[in-house]
Structure 1
Amino acid sequence: MRLWKNHVQVSDFVVRKAESQFAYSNYRRYYQEARCHAGGEKKDAVKKLREYFSQHPYRAVKSIDASQAIQMASLLGEDGRFSDLNSTEEQFERENAYQQGYENTTDDRVGIFIAGALNRIYQLADACRKGRLEKTSEFTDKLWKAVVHYGNLEISRPNDKPRFHASCFAIPTAAVNIYFACTEDMDRAERGEGNKYLKNACDMLKVLGLQAYTQPLRRDDTDKNVVSVERFRNHVWWVGGNALAYRSLLPVAVMYSSVPMLDVLAEVCQRGISMTSQITYDDSFWTEGFTADGAGWGHGMQCLIWGYPIDGTSSALNMLGMLNGTPWAKQLSRENADALMNFFRGGSWYYRDGYRLPCLDRNSYEYRNKEEAIPYYKMLRNVVKNWLSSFSPEEQKELQQLLAEAETNRIRMKGTEKGVYQGTRWFFNNDDLMKHTPDYHLMINMASVRCDGLESAAFADNYNFYPTDGMTLFQRHGNEYFQIMGGWDVTASPGVTAREGMERLTPVTNWRGYCSRHNFAAGAADGADYAAGGYIFEKMHGADKENVNDKGDRKVKNELLYGFKAYKGYFVLGDYLVALGAGVTNNCPDMEGHIRTTLDQTARVAPVYLWKKGKKTDVAKGSMLLDARKMKDTWVIQEGQFAYQGLPEYQANLYVASESCPAHWAKMNARNKKKSGLPEKVSVLRLWTDHGQSPKNDTYGYTVYLGKDEPARKLPFEVLRNDTLIQAVRSTDKKVVEAVFYPEAPVLKAKGLTLEVSAPCALVLRETDTECYVSVTDARMDATLKEITLVWNGQKIVVPMPQGISCGKSVTVCVKK
């Protein structure tokens, strides 16, 4: 049946199924608009793009050789079915699987089956194109029937549950690759030539390809017009990597010869290279991707910096590159350049000498023992090679230096301003406080209700329960944790306050991770040697927040995760970290398991000893309990690594375990099942304090020395206060004060010091002989807060708060004394 002009023919059965199952009324117009708008210069450009894709498969499965092609072809029957797949297909029919949804978006057995069959068809078509398989009319008729048969299985499926990965990523990709592997045949079909099998197959491939734009349905107005910019905004499935990286959008547009599609893609690609933040979330072009603090979000507001943000932006740059020299060519705007520079700078903090930091994606527990380039390396190389003219001369020089250092896996960027690549930094959209020097890396991953936690899935990490619970990672080499995480007790994750009992945890698929119930997290950093931060921790499931559409598995409760509270503060003074805890309270004291705060759980790679005033005592393998109140000025040191000391005023005990632990790599991450030679046991150094079964307003305090030489024999700081109102420390020379002021905080008073603030915040106050540098961060990211006023020893200091996309950023001012 001829439906539209320009020799586009669509058979009755394809139209019926497509219109009934895709659930939008404007299906036909995509064919119509594709041809009506293809005129002049754009029409010629589309022809060149069609030639390109006919010669360059798009993310296609691997080609097969002649013998493999002959074997595969022998399985294809006259009815267009692969004989070895019939039993699975019939089983699905008996189970009514084609009409059922699936529990998780990655568990789509039917979609995976259909995609596999379509990829076989592509491999056979590709073999014919390359002369590895004889292309007879009898054989091609079977190919066309196969396209229709397996395509029918797909387009007949219901949409009452989302059809995700297979339907919008894999199947459209297979469809366009089949189409362009048979370009001459498809061109004949679109001219109205060829037999019915070819025409039906051409129609079906376009219907399947269009699923890159239609699936999953959003149940909003964009379902009525999927070729629109708004289709690729404001939904977790349609932004960042899920928008541009995994969908075959460009080849589908070219398959349709669609000028409107190409118009939309060019605009989405350019506007997607931008930044978002909590404050500008509703107005940002993408709600995921690069964040204003220099990191990035994926699957909500979780710091999946190495996945979706890079995938989405890299794909945008690649598509814009492919459109260079066409009417859709674009130069990078200043906004694009700023977003890229901010990400390259900020992203470098999430990487240490050949290793990305743990707990930044759903494959943290995958065993890694080899250095790799920083994950944004290919994108950086693309920018330097193809887009350098979009940046200022100073930025060009910086990008070239960054690329050169990235190629060595050692990013130091000597000569750049402190706080840009090295020093201290607060990532205000992700609740991360860091210090990065050539000698070490420190990350504190705090939590608030503003951010999501880290996702987990059955096919990846199975125990991502604690990464954003104040996880505190100390690294000198970059692999201190990756080499032992198969033997981790996750309830003793470094820096975390948690209820013990890993054996009682049941893995779940959780796309939003876990966060804190409280809108309170802050880190003030001067960019150099000093920083202060803190947050109120009371764990909640990220999917319990409003407007979450990807809730994951909520059947498993894992109650031991919840029911306690703590105020956790962190203070960086040069090479010392001071960690303070207050208000540690178990609200469910009858629940099994003590509440513990872990100082570290790291690889034991060198001798461990107790050190006090120059005297060493070896720590034997096994566990030992130290009475912190009797161990003043005593350090636990791992030679060449880090030194730990409990502060006896705030914790009664310090446990140290130096032991060999069995490693359960496959249990921790599904990818490890495919790896061989993984260590069966790992050497672990673990330190923690035990709050007991029913703590109420308990405290803790410890310090970690990060330098390479021996720590000072006398601590170079004093704790001024540690409770649920104020946590504060001061250097012994009284030149530096660091504090976290919680809600209702009074005036901070100490000998020679009075300090009052007008709003909850974290701050660093550093004196010189003539000046005072004050770094302040609003702990609640209040968009209406214009300034925070300090009264310091009677002197009033007004600190303007950043507005708009920078709201929540740490700001430093200098005042005369």
Structure 2
Amino acid sequence: MMEKGKAEAQFAFTNYRRYYREARERVADEKTEAVGKLRDYFSRHSHRAVKPVGEAEAARMYALLGEDGTFSDLNPTEEQYNRENVWNRGYANTPDDRAGIFIADALNRVYRLAEAARRGSLKKDTEFLNRLSRAVVHYGNLEIARSNDKPRFHASCFAIPTAAVNIYFACMEEMDRAERGEAGAEVRAACDMLKVLGLQAYTQPLRRDATDRNVVSVERFRNHVWWVGGNALAYRSLLPVAVMYSSVPMLDVLAEVCQRGISVTSQTTYSDAFWTEGFTADGAGWGHGMQCLIWGYPIHGTSAALDMLKTLRGTPWAKNLSRENTEALMTFFRGGSWYYRDGYRLPCLDRGSYVYCDKESAIPYRNMLRDVVDNWKESFTPAEQAELEQLLAEVEARRIRMDGYVDGVYQGTRWFFNNDDLMKHTADYHLMVNMASVRCDGLESADFADNYNFYPTDGMTLFQRRGDEYFRIMGGWDVTASPGVTAREGMDRLVPVTNWRGYCSRHNFAAGAADGGDYAAGGYIFEKMYGPDKENPDYKGGHPKKNELLYGFKAYKGYFILGDYLVALGAGVTNLEPEQEGNIRTTLDQTARTSPVYLLEKGRKKPLPMGVTTLDARQLKNAWIVQEGQFAYRALPNYQSDLHVACENRPADWARMNEQNRQRKDLPAEVPVLRLWTDHGRTPVADTYGYAVYLGQGEPARKLPFEVLRNDTLVQAVCSADRIVIGAVFYPEAPALEAKGLKLEVSAPCALVLRETEEACFVTVADACMDASLKEIALKWNGRDIRIALPQGMYSGKPVTVRIDR
């Protein structure tokens, strides 16, 4: 072993001996007895173990294990890695960690053999135990000698410790004798090595901060992407390692981390929240930074916390769920339901959106919800228990409606203020606008998953009735024509990249005033930015320069929901880099063409042919493009001069979009697509656009039931035809909105909905800059002064509705 490897190995063994000694010294009698019961539990229950092998396969595998503790078929690879010094190349991402994966695979073989012997398929004699012990020491030494100069992640902290604890507990009787000093030298050495490898669940990767000197601490599991949420509790074998060590301090820490981790974080409480990732106060969730990865890390981390707390029932570490825990869970169950439509999760919420999906499945939090109902229901109020039971029944049916609950809880309109998402959900349809700001991270991409996650948080606007409108065709998407997105054309020039922070907007402006019912107004300032530049403004190389077409244009984008109509407005559309090739386009939709498409003009239907149809100025005044049974689209000629409609069969390259698609051989070679867009040309300066989408059933009204009041870079505003509802977005330095008997002025940038009834006026407002110091927004409405107190703390940025009696 090289000197560097000896130093790393000595470091690992020093850590192990210190924590093992401290554990023994600090054990209390009651907890000692509880640890013994936990050890018995894990000796009978494998932890995330690989599938055991049958008797014949176990015999074949054991025949490959030489007396020197190496597997003969793995030796050529090990020799190659020695020549190339693969062991110390460091970690880039999962597929790159060849050394860690190799070691984990070898140790999992050892576990399979130990498990086969425990089940009686192999004879557990002295030679067998010594040979397994040599294998543990051999492959363990390869691991602990690896350098810590670069991070050692997935294999070192997840897979290898898991293999270690499973080997340990499969040989529990021998390990107990080893710890009493009664076993042979080789078994004692293996016991020590298994503890060293297991401890990596707490030590790897090094954080290069004070917690590296005390890994058994609550702070170890806070304030770092590798040590919160799923990365903290779900993928590390923390509890079985603690039990392997018989460590009361480890169990003390885990019980506290599990309970405190079932909580929420937010933009304004990010530094104070227990976890910087996980459930967000708006009802969604973060993973890998402030990106809306609600279906992975938040669920995994919380589910693991609940599982550990359940295992600790009946021990001194038992805990009931606190009110903070139950409120966090209820917030997530309610909010998470909006990111799902009738058997399908929403696309563009993870790095698996481009995986072909043609079958319904339950909402991803189903198992966690069932666990809560089955094991934790008594921690909730009677009303919450009834709600959870009803929600579980609807989750099982894959149709979440929750009729009878207040608007904005499960149906209606909602603004996810920590994630820049504006939604409307009804029994009939689902609408999502995924906006962008400098506050949020964009969606990550990876070369082993989604390769083209460039635009999902650029105002992507998804219209769904069935739930699979996009999943069936994304293999043939032109991603530069993503629905709702303003972008420079050029799909053929995009180079896939791995980008863990995604893309965002340069501007701290995004707002959604959703009243919970039928009305909402929202908008943001879009100027694309490479996510990592937020923390490294001097970044000059790498991914951004691979795809320059992504950058160099700006737009002010507003959205207004009036009943079953969405009105989308754009202003200030400017190409800041006109020397780049490609026109700037705004796409209305790029969706599955599942039924006939026709032009509806003054009540007359005209089928659209295959290919591209361009509507002229006359047609823009009255024409709707309708896909039968789906949605209807209309351009607003005052704000855009063209509308292009393509009915096409596009070639699909599913493997190009996501590597996982290679596993299926039955994917469609081409996909039927309906695409609509307006072309701003190559050199737009302060250009505009405007369009409407009718989401209801049947045909849209012949006369537009709304009017655009203003569309520029200061104010975007729409009102209903009867003037009962006004929606507006006030950008920085906005003047008063004045239009036909209306004068409305605000004291701070915001989105606003004003709705009048005979008895009162209801005003919904949301702070666009999420300014934690802003306590109120003052309105002047037709000479009347209105002061609206804003939500504070973790709810900063949340819309608030006030009633003003006449």
AA in 1 matched with 2:621: K
AA in 1 matched with 2:196: V
Q: Provide the residue aligned with 1:57 in structure 2.
A: 46
- Superposed displacement of residue 18, structure 1: 7.3
Is residue 292 of structure 2 the alignment partner of residue 303 of structure 1?
A: yes
Q: Provide the residue aligned with 1:279 in structure 2.
A: 268
For the residue of structure 1 that corresponds to 2:529, the secondary structure is strand
Is residue 579 of structure 2 the alignment partner of residue 590 of structure 1?
A: yes
In 2, Cα distance between equivalents of 1:403 and 1:548: 46
For the residue of structure 1 that corresponds to 2:801, the secondary structure is strand
Q: Provide the residue aligned with 1:722 in structure 2.
A: 711
TM superposition score normalised by structure 1: 0.97
Q: Provide the residue aligned with 1:174 in structure 2.
A: 163
Q: Provide the residue aligned with 2:662 in structure 1.
A: 673
Q: 2:549 aligns with which of 555, 560, 570?
A: 560
CA RMSD after TM alignment:
1.8
- The runs of 5 or more residues in structure 1 that have no matched partner are 1-11
- Superposed displacement of residue 629, structure 1: 5.3
Contact 1:14 1:203 in 2 (8 A): no
Q: Provide the residue aligned with 1:443 in structure 2.
A: 432
TM superposition score normalised by structure 2: 0.98
1:548–1:400: structure 2 CA closer, same or farther, 3 Å change rule?
farther
After superposition, the C-alpha distances for 1:460-481 in whole angstroms (9 at most, x for unaligned) are 1000000000000000010000
Contact 1:18 1:155 in 2 (8 A): no
Contact 1:664 1:680 in 2 (8 A): yes
In 2, Cα distance between equivalents of 1:39 and 1:746: 69
Which is worse superposed, 98-107 or 84-93? 98-107
1:69–1:338: structure 2 CA closer, same or farther, 3 Å change rule?
same
After superposition, the C-alpha distances for 1:57-108 in whole angstroms (9 at most, x for unaligned) are 1001111001111111111111111011111111111111112224335420
Q: Provide the residue aligned with 1:482 in structure 2.
A: 471
1:407–1:621: structure 2 CA closer, same or farther, 3 Å change rule?
same
Aligned pairs for 1:510-659 (under 5 A) are 510-546=499-535, 554=543, 557-628=546-617, 630-659=619-648
Contact 1:105 1:162 in 2 (8 A): no
Aligned pairs for 1:22-33 (under 5 A) are 22=11, 27-33=16-22
Is residue 245 of structure 2 the alignment partner of residue 256 of structure 1?
A: yes
Q: 2:351 aligns with which of 333, 346, 362?
A: 362
In 1, Cα distance between equivalents of 2:5 and 2:615: 75
1:393–1:552: structure 2 CA closer, same or farther, 3 Å change rule?
farther
Q: Provide the residue aligned with 2:768 in structure 1.
A: 779
Q: Provide the residue aligned with 1:683 in structure 2.
A: 672
Contact 1:647 1:702 in 2 (8 A): yes
Q: Provide the residue aligned with 2:787 in structure 1.
A: 798
After superposition, the C-alpha distances for 1:432-473 in whole angstroms (9 at most, x for unaligned) are 000000000000000000000000111110000000000000
- Superposed displacement of residue 676, structure 1: 2.3
Contact 2:226 2:232 in 1 (8 A): yes
Is residue 761 of structure 2 the alignment partner of residue 766 of structure 1?
A: no
1:75–1:556: structure 2 CA closer, same or farther, 3 Å change rule?
farther
Which is worse superposed, 548-557 or 520-529? 548-557
Q: Provide the residue aligned with 1:9 in structure 2.
A: none
Is residue 217 of structure 2 the alignment partner of residue 225 of structure 1?
A: no
AA in 2 matched with 1:354: G
Q: Provide the residue aligned with 2:374 in structure 1.
A: 385
Contact 2:358 2:472 in 1 (8 A): yes
In 2, Cα distance between equivalents of 1:668 and 1:21: 45
After superposition, the C-alpha distances for 1:753-777 in whole angstroms (9 at most, x for unaligned) are 0000000000000001121000000
Contact 2:16 2:195 in 1 (8 A): no
- The runs of 5 or more residues in structure 2 that have no matched partner are none
1:709–1:600: structure 2 CA closer, same or farther, 3 Å change rule?
same
Q: Provide the residue aligned with 1:736 in structure 2.
A: 725
Aligned pairs for 1:314-329 (under 5 A) are 314-329=303-318
In 2, Cα distance between equivalents of 1:13 and 1:191: 32
In 2, Cα distance between equivalents of 1:166 and 1:552: 29
After superposition, the C-alpha distances for 1:501-538 in whole angstroms (9 at most, x for unaligned) are 11111111111100000000000011000000000000
AA in 2 matched with 1:702: Y
For the residue of structure 1 that corresponds to 2:678, the secondary structure is strand
Is residue 28 of structure 2 the alignment partner of residue 39 of structure 1?
A: yes
Contact 1:511 1:551 in 2 (8 A): no
In 2, Cα distance between equivalents of 1:378 and 1:102: 32
Number of residues paired by the alignment?
806
- Superposed displacement of residue 752, structure 1: 1.4
Q: Provide the residue aligned with 2:302 in structure 1.
A: 313
Contact 1:508 1:556 in 2 (8 A): no
Is residue 121 of structure 2 the alignment partner of residue 158 of structure 1?
A: no
AA in 1 matched with 2:591: T
After superposition, the C-alpha distances for 1:203-242 in whole angstroms (9 at most, x for unaligned) are 0000000000000000000000000000000000000000
AA in 2 matched with 1:30: Y
Q: Provide the residue aligned with 1:5 in structure 2.
A: none
Contact 2:5 2:147 in 1 (8 A): no
Q: Provide the residue aligned with 1:497 in structure 2.
A: 486
Q: 2:105 aligns with which of 113, 116, 119?
A: 116
For the residue of structure 1 that corresponds to 2:335, the secondary structure is helix
Q: 1:431 aligns with which of 412, 420, 427?
A: 420
1:744–1:21: structure 2 CA closer, same or farther, 3 Å change rule?
farther
AA in 1 matched with 2:154: H
Contact 1:106 1:165 in 2 (8 A): no
Q: Provide the residue aligned with 1:201 in structure 2.
A: 190
For the residue of structure 1 that corresponds to 2:215, the secondary structure is coil
Q: 1:340 aligns with which of 329, 332, 336?
A: 329
In 2, Cα distance between equivalents of 1:537 and 1:280: 25
Contact 1:512 1:550 in 2 (8 A): no
In 2, Cα distance between equivalents of 1:17 and 1:780: 53
